[in-house]
Amino acid sequence: MPTFAAIDCGTNAIRLLIAAVDGNTVTDHLREMRTVRLGEGVDATGEFSDTALERTFAACREYAEMLLQYEIAELRFIATSASRDVSNRGAFIAGVKEILGVEPEVIGGDQEAELSYRGALSGLDVSGSVLVSDIGGGSTEFVMNRPDHSLVLESVNIGCVRMTERHLYSDPPNRQEIEAAARDIRSHVELMGRTFPIKAETTFIGLAGSVTTVAAMALGLHEYDADLIHGSVVSIGEVDAVTDELLSMTREQRAKLGFMHPGRVDVIGGGALVLRESMRMLGFTRVLVSEKDLLDGVVLRLGNT
């Protein structure tokens, strides 16, 4: 089977997947993540900082070394939310191209949503009406299928980093900050939700680190286990309880949780809020959790063109 590589650079993290593709089956060779916080401060300044760019370029240099260990048929580099919003993305594009030899594609929210949808469904046995939610650092993508197999896609600027920087200043956040963030999320989801033909039987699928971390806590895991998390179902009651607990903790307390990735310690509260308020506003009582995401969608597309 040919081997393909995909890199996804978002607001919070840059991720690499090297995988073999056979039809709709993705077999991982390597899956890596580095928290570079490329979008740090972008909501306020509208540009990447020099330090954020250097953190990102350092991760790219690491990935370049890893890619040399494999015979890659094709590499695709995707840049998402933060890169859409900045005035100096040219410096980012030039730096990545110099290191990796491939030009980053700054994709729109609709394309990001479609790739996330394709990736999420590749790893789950689901059919019928489905709504996929991909909670990122700067934005959250929602994708739903129609009976005619077309997709309804929306990208909303309510990611875990954006909500944390905009509202959750204290450690731990206070009641006023939490409610301000929740109102912000609800206002965006309410407008977006009107475009989706949600039914009683619609399956709600959640992916990306905020969702999988909430699932890990709901499952009572002492360390992160992707096999146990993938395909798990978390109720709205469990999401409520986990969100409240995470928001009541200091960052130091969160960092001691065995399943918590260090790069999510300060932003997981914002991500959990996006999940909870989205479920409440859209009327879902449970979420089906997927470990597959945009990266899987990218390599699937590379392997099937």
Q: Report the alpha-carbon angle 142-152-294, nearest 5.
A: 45
Q: Whole-angstrom Cα distance, residue 107 to residue 120?
A: 18
Side chain identity, residue 138: G
The confidence score (pLDDT) of residue 123 equals 75
Assess contact for 150 and 143: CB atoms under 8 A.
Answer: no
Q: Mind spelling out the 3-state secondary structure of 205-217?
A: EEECHHHHHHHHH
Task: Return the half-sphere exposure (C-beta side, CA atoms, 13 A cut-off) of residue 44.
Answer: 9
| Residue closest to 158 by CA, chosen among 133, 184, 179, 176 | 184
Q: State the angle between helix axes of 209-218 and 268-282 in degrees (0 to 180), rounded to the nearest 10.
A: 90
Q: How far, in whole angstroms, is CA 72 from its chain's centroid?
A: 25
> Which domains, ranges and CATH numbers included, belong to the chain?
3-109+298-303 (3.30.420.40), 116-290 (3.30.420.150)
Q: Write out the chain's pLDDT in tens, 305 residues.
A: 899 999 999 888 899 999 999 888 899 999 999 999 898 888 788 889 999 999 999 999 999 999 999 999 999 999 986 677 788 888 999 999 999 999 999 888 788 888 989 999 887 889 899 999 999 888 898 999 988 888 898 888 899 999 999 999 999 999 999 999 999 999 999 888 888 888 889 999 999 999 999 999 999 999 999 999 999 999 999 999 999 999 999 999 999 999 999 989 999 999 999 999 999 999 999 999 999 999 999 999 999 87
